[in-house]
Amino acid sequence: MPRGKCHRHGREFGPCSCSLGKLSRLVEPQMLHLLAAREAQYGYELLAHVQQAKLTDSEIDVGAVYRTLRTLEQTGCVVSHWEPGPGGPNRRMYDITPLGRQHLKDWATVLARRGTAMVEFAEDCSKL
């Protein structure tokens, strides 16, 4: 992730993903939240939770979840390890890192700003 000041969340001198504002990436903050809250820890469990509380109207496919997990792991936001599954094959378990928690906070800033802008825009549209 590039370093410097991001125009979206205003943090300086830390990891930044300037694509945070892309709505198609909303699966990322959801997975970080699930990992931080310890509500889910492996791929299919994360997928089930993301599908239940999705922030987009788009169908979220399993490939997007695993691509996002891979990217988060490559950037140091999550780590993974293999554990035996209950009566089945091993499964990859994911944990959020301190960097991932900071990235989630950055997402929270972006989402709050985006939410405020969306509400203002909706109000302006309804006045027309």
Q: Token digits for 8?
A: 């979206």
| Total structural domains within the chain | 1
Residue 58 inside a domain? The answer is yes
Residue 59 inside a domain? The answer is yes
Structural domain containing residue 92:
25-100
Q: Residues 6 or more apart from 10 whose CB is under 8 A from it?
A: 109
What's the predicted TM-score (pTM) here? 0.76
Residue 84 inside a domain? The answer is yes
CATH code, domain with 61: 1.10.10.10
Residue 44 inside a domain? The answer is yes
pLDDT tens-digit map of 54-106? 676 667 788 888 999 999 999 999 999 999 988 888 999 999 999 999 999 99
Residue 37 inside a domain? The answer is yes
pLDDT tens-digit map of 13-52? 455 554 544 445 688 999 999 999 998 898 889 988 888 8
